[in-house]
């Protein structure tokens, strides 16, 4: 582990590097890491930047690093198992609702269904119920994604709406 310190007078604060990570404590007393100082330009898209042209790739890398550290090896494995389990459950429920899987190949958390009902009609019905459905690939095919964040109740509700269309 590498730890570095930097000090300056307050007037020079904005002359420091673009991103500085600080350690803090949340309301439950747990240690957390935050970007304590970052210039606004750090989040401007390259094509919109007028001076400090950069991207927020380092911010994304930091977020991934924090997530992986928080999950740990076992937590990441459990999340992956939940992803694939729930995605296969969703695929089965959508088949029960009248869709068919485009392919019988193995998948992790994304799969494509084909339906006689137009994809746009299915996705509009889901949207009317507050559900962001899959991605329409063409007139009758939808790319679905299901992760550990989707509950079985949400999946069942989605399938019921699809069946009713």
Q: Could you tell me which of 30, 148, 1, 29 has the C-alpha nearest to residue 88?
A: 148
114 and 135 together in one domain: yes
Residue 53 covered by a domain: yes
Residue 21 covered by a domain: yes
Structure tokens at 119: 């994809």
pLDDT along the chain (165 residues), means of 10: 60 71 81 69 55 59 82 89 97 98 94 97 97 96 96 98 97
67 and 105 together in one domain: no
- Contact at 8 Å (CB) between 126 and 161? yes
Q: Give the pLDDT score at 1.
A: 41
Q: What is the pTM of this model?
A: 0.64
Give the C-alpha separation, 135 to 142, whole Å: 5
Which residues make beta-bridge pairs with 110? 145
105 and 132 together in one domain: yes
Residue with tokens 């899959």: 134
Residue with tokens 């089965």: 92
Domain that holds residue 111: 76-164
Surface-to-core class of residue 4, CB atoms within 10 Å of its CB (0-12 exposed, 13-18 middle, 19+ buried) = exposed
DSSP per residue over 111-124, as a string? EEEE-SS-HHHHHH
Q: Give the pLDDT score at 130.
A: 95
100 and 138 together in one domain: yes
Number of folded domains in the chain?
2
Residue 157 covered by a domain: yes
Give the C-alpha separation, 50 to 60, whole Å: 22
């Amino acid at each position: 582990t590498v730890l570095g310190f930097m000090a300056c007078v307050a007037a020079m604060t904005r002359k420091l590097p673009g991103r500085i990570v600080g350690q803090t404590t949340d309301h439950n007393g747990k240690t957390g890491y935050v970007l304590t100082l970052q210039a606004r330009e750090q989040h401007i898209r390259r094509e919109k930047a007028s001076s400090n042209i950069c991207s927020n790739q380092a911010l994304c890398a930091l977020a991934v690093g924090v997530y992986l550290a928080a999950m740990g090896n076992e937590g990441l494995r459990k999340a992956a198992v939940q992803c694939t389990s729930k995605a296969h459950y969703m695929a089965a429920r959508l088949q029960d609702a009248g869709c068919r899987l485009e392919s019988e190949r193995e998948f992790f958390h994304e799969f494509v269904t084909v339906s006689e009902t137009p994809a746009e009609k299915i996705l509009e019905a889901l949207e009317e119920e507050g559900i962001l459905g899959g991605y329409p690939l063409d007139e009758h095919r939808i790319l679905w994604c299901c992760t550990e964040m989707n509950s079985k109740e949400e999946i069942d509700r989605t399938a019921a709406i699809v069946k009713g269309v």
